[in-house]
């Protein structure tokens, strides 16, 4: 296997791993918020699903904020990479 083929294969695995990580970064805060809220509600008298719902909303916001940060970082990486390629062509 040539170095170029190995590089393509490695990039493919890296992209797949990054997309999997992205899903976990979205799902874990939501699930964690619901779990923590449920635990607090079960210990607190008189609040049926108050904390569960509140921490679900917080988890959704945190998950989507993580998604936003990841996408923004990828956009910056792409711009930087394109700028470097353009600068190499100028010299």
pLDDT beyond 90 at 2: no
pLDDT for res 23: 86
**Higher pLDDT, residue 46 or 42:** 42
Q: 51 with 37: CB under 8 angstroms?
A: yes
Tell me the C-alpha to C-alpha distance, in Å, between residue 42 and each of 6, 10, 34, 49.
53, 47, 12, 9
For all residues of the chain together, what is the average pLDDT?
Answer: 85
pLDDT for res 91: 54
Give the domain ranges of the chain: 3-90
pTM: 0.72
């Amino acid at each position: 296997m040539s170095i170029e083929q190995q590089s393509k294969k490695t990039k493919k695995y890296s992209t797949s791993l990054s997309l999997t990580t992205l899903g976990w970064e979205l799902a874990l805060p939501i699930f964690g918020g619901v779990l923590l809220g449920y635990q607090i509600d079960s210990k607190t008298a008189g609040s049926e699903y108050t904390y569960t719902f509140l921490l679900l909303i917080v988890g959704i916001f945190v998950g989507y904020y993580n998604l936003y940060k990841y996408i923004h970082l990828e956009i910056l990486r792409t711009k930087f990479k394109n700028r470097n390629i353009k600068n190499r062509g100028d010299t």
